[in-house]
């Protein structure tokens, strides 16, 4: 028996054909580090905001090469939820975990400010 290669869907319709339980609603906002779009409730939250690119705090620090002290004053734009599997005493359950996302444009502007003005913010 030969394994068929994994097909990467390029549209919502193709995603539904490959995996019928795949989400059919995606956000306009893209994560800057991995290019993924958010789905479900997270997509609804991000679509209600005027942003095109987002990142988490750690992704922003790594991507824009900014130290923690230099990020003072940056504000998250939304709290999103991801679900993680937790195993406790042989029982596995799904637990929601909140995480904050930031507007990538704010990080870009901060990076430019640091380059132009040095460390002072």
5 found inside a domain: no
pLDDT of residue 28: 86
C-alpha neighbours within 13 Å on the C-beta side of residue 79: 3
7 found inside a domain: no
Q: Are strands 26-31 and 53-55 parallel, antiparallel or unpaired?
A: parallel
pLDDT of residue 26: 82
1 found inside a domain: no
33 found inside a domain: yes
CA-nearest of 62, 51, 54, 50 to 111 is 62
4 found inside a domain: no
Could you read off the pLDDT of 26-53 as tens digits, one per residue? 888 899 999 999 988 899 999 999 999 9
100 found inside a domain: yes
Contact, 58 vs 77, CB < 8 A?
A: no
Q: How far apart are CA 73 and CA 65, in angstroms?
A: 16
Structural domain that includes position 77:
12-117
Could you read off the pLDDT of 67-111 as tens digits, one per residue? 888 899 999 999 999 999 999 888 999 999 999 999 999 999 999
pLDDT of residue 117: 85
User: Structural domain tally of the chain?
Assistant: 1
- pTM score, whole prediction: 0.73
Q: Above 80 in pLDDT, residue 112? A: yes
CA distance to 22, 32, 33, 47, 81, per residue, from 40 (Å):
10, 19, 20, 11, 10
């Amino acid at each position: 028996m030969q394994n068929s290669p994994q097909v990467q869907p390029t549209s919502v319709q193709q995603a539904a054909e490959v995996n019928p339980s795949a989400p059919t609603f995606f956000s306009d906002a893209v994560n800057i580090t991995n290019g993924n779009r958010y789905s479900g409730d997270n997509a609804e939250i991000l679509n209600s905001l005027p942003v095109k690119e987002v990142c988490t705090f750690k992704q922003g620090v790594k991507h824009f090469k900014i130290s923690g002290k230099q990020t003072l004053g940056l504000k998250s734009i939304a709290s999103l939820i991801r679900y993680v599997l937790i195993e406790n005493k042989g029982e596995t359950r799904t637990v929601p975990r909140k995480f904050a996302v930031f507007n990538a444009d704010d990080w870009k502007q901060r990076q430019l400010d640091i380059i132009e003005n040095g460390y002072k913010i």
